[in-house]
A and B are shown apart, each in its own frame.
Chain A
Amino acid sequence: GENVEQHPSTLSVQEGDSAVIKCTYSDSASNYFPWYKQELGKRPQLIIDIRSNVGEKKDQRIAVTLNKTAKHFSLHITETQPEDSAVYFCAVNAGGTSYGKLTFGQGTILTVHP
């Protein structure tokens, strides 16, 4: 099955700095790559996603880049704020007939210090 590796497991930054989280995957048929944010005690929420026909997508302070050849994609958060502190998960879908299958990375705990 799909193998998704997410790094780093924890990330601590100062307010205003940038944060980058990277995920690698194994299935070359995967074509959808979402990122979720989970605040303490809350449900995961989709913050940005990218499809395989696009190399980069940006939404205000967050962006995702995809390198299909190398099978990795990254979440970039600029001008971080304390409210960005949360656990971030990447995910990868399975291609072909298992399209509904979504495999998550292990998560990154991001702490933004004021």
Chain B
Amino acid sequence: EAQVTQNPRYLITVTGKKLTVTCSQNMNHEYMSWYRQDPGLGLRQIYYSMNVEVTDKGDVPEGYKVSRKEKRNFPLILESPSPNQTSLYFCASSLAGTGALGYTFGSGTRLTVV
């Protein structure tokens, strides 16, 4: 089944403790992206990647890191999480081969930083 898989689904952590949220897609998509969703603010793009070793900042990259060492994986790293990073996070991927950018989203990771 074609899908975007992110783990974990739920995570509670403490301020300053480094964490990684994993994301994997099995559709051979070139583009991958991370979003955070907060009430009243919609979906905001954190980082995106156009291909292996090619990444760029979205609208809210501060406090986050990403890497794209393999085409299928795009982990999100929070080196020193803070309470304002409590949010619902979505990973997404897109083929973008036709010039369109229809992202397929994962199920989401609800992160709480205390």
Contacts and interface: CB of A to CB of B under 8 A. Distances in A.
Q: What is the predominant secondary structure among interface residues of chain A facing chain B?
A: strand
A5 to B, nearest CB: 11
B112 to A, nearest CB: 16
Interface string A40-54: 000111100101000
Interface of B: 31, 33, 35, 40-45, 48-50, 56, 58-59, 90, 94, 96, 99-108
B42 A106 contact: yes
A104 B45 CA distance: 8
Nearest to B30: A100
Given A44-B43, A44-B90, A100-B33, A32 B105 contact: no
A49 B40 CA distance: 23
Interface residues of A, number: 24
A89 B43 contact: yes
B95 to A, nearest CB: 12
